[in-house]
Amino acid sequence: MKHDHEHYLSQTAKDLQPSGIRKFFDLAASMKDVISLGVGEPDFITPWSIREAAILSLEQGFTSYTANAGLLELREEISFYLSGRFGVQYDPKSQIIVTIGASQAIDLAFRAILNQGDEVLIVEPAFVSYAPLVAIAGGTPVAVATSPANGFKVTPEQIEAAITGKTKAILLCSPNNPTGSTLTKDELIEITEIIRKHDLIVVSDEIYCELTYDEAFTSVAAIEGMYERTILINGFSKGFAMTGWRLGFLAAPKEFVAVMLKIHQYTTMCAPNMLQHGAIEALRNTYHEVESMRNSYRRRRNYVVQTLNQIGLNCHTPGGAFYVFPSIRSTGLSSEQFAEELLMQEKVAVVPGHVFGESGEGYIRCSYAASMDQLQEALKRIRRFIESKGVIASSPSEKVKIR
Ligand code: PLP
């Protein structure tokens, strides 16, 4: 008998759209000689001493469950890291949970705070998970569109205009994926005034905190009056080049953490023991390696932004993360057409901007977490593609200096 599987599925689950990033990634993976600027992860391998610590912990037999919130030793290191680096104090025993990536931490945050129909403001263009995770938790995502005129930074006015009687929270992500835009401390102070005025909670995704290039990073929780209303999301994936480890953490007022811990305990139990030993090593001893990766990203950012602008793709200089978000409007193509044709014609994979929200239409996301050789070759191919579309590169013969 043929089953009508559709009939059994939840409407919320059916309504979810597959991630547009994966679609391009899968397409690119099926082709030969593609240079991928598509996926958002470091091109570095996790520093050796972190891998060694995890191997050693396996050798020593650390194969059991840990405390639900994670190894206390790791939570102590996270607490020390957050206070030392960003000046925010969290009690390791009651205010920190080690999660399966920042992804799970975001999920826990929304599940813990949302009732059916609560609205969450999402500053767009935005990381693809936020709106689906809000919907899964029963909330309603509300897009707050930013524009390149303001470097893709949200303003207090834009936030205030989107607030309704149902608004419960706002998701802030600085440095941002996909635009790389990074809010300064002063900008955060202005924005958080509105957030306090309207009594909102901030889910602050600080996963790119180690990757800022022009200014020191400021945590939302460190802004006066914000600690009590912030759920801080962070993790090891980006700064420490540990995407495959699936390790993140959250820190928040203990009343929030107690509720998130219940959900975590029932859905996940705990993060993997041996990998948590690697994370302890990451926080204790690998800061110099993070710094060297950051310096390398900064050089690549400077090169990529300068070259894109030279070839006629207008691109603001992002303050952090490892993405650029150039406009492709000069080509007359939609971002989907641009990404598809570029892939087919020149074998360079980028992500069309619209997958990050409507305001991303007219842009593409390129990750510069690739080697300098790959970036140079990719930009050569993009230039050729642009020229084939009849867009004149501003100074085609000019050699771009790599700083
Ligand atoms: N938040 C942002 C803004 C991201 O870009 C990503 C990954 O691309 C994540 C969260 C997920 O991070 P994790 O690997 O820690 O789950």
> Which of 19-33, 38-52, 209-223, 256-270 is least confident?
19-33
Residue 24's pLDDT is 73
> What gap in Å lies between CA 217 and CA 81, rounded to an integer?
13
Residue 398 has pLDDT above 70, yes or no: no
- Cβ of 207 below 6 Å from ligand 1: yes
> What gap in Å lies between CA 234 and CA 109, rounded to an integer?
12
Provide mean pLDDT across the span 228-254: 98
C-alpha 234 to ligand 1 mean position (Å): 9
Residue 392's pLDDT is 57
Q: Are 383 and 393 a contacting pair, CB within 8 Å?
A: yes
Provide mean pLDDT across the span 19-43: 84
- CA-nearest residue for atom 12, ligand 1, is 102
Residue 403's pLDDT is 34
Provide mean pLDDT across the span 106-115: 98
> What gap in Å lies between CA 361 and CA 143, rounded to an integer?
14
On average, the pLDDT of the chain sits at: 94
Residue 402's pLDDT is 36
What fold characterizes domain 48-286? Aspartate Aminotransferase; domain 2 (3.40.640)
Residue 18's pLDDT is 80
* DSSP character string of 329-363: GGGT--HHHHHHHHHHHH-EE-EEGGGG-GGGTTB
C-alpha 133 to ligand 1 mean position (Å): 13
pLDDT band at 193 (very low <50, low <70, confident <90, very high): very high
pLDDT band at 394 (very low <50, low <70, confident <90, very high): very low
- Cβ of 356 below 6 Å from ligand 1: no
Partners of residue 231 on adjacent β-strands: 203
Helices (H), 249-310: 254-267, 273-285, 287-310
What fold characterizes domain 5-46+288-388? Aspartate Aminotransferase, domain 1 (3.90.1150)
Q: Are 365 and 350 a contacting pair, CB within 8 Å?
A: yes
C-alpha 127 to ligand 1 mean position (Å): 8
Provide mean pLDDT across the span 203-223: 97
C-alpha 119 to ligand 1 mean position (Å): 22
- Cβ of 237 below 6 Å from ligand 1: yes
pLDDT band at 4 (very low <50, low <70, confident <90, very high): confident
Tens of pLDDT along 319-361? 999 999 999 999 999 999 999 999 999 999 999 999 999 999 9
- Cβ of 102 below 6 Å from ligand 1: yes
Structural domain spans, the chain: 5-46+288-388, 48-286
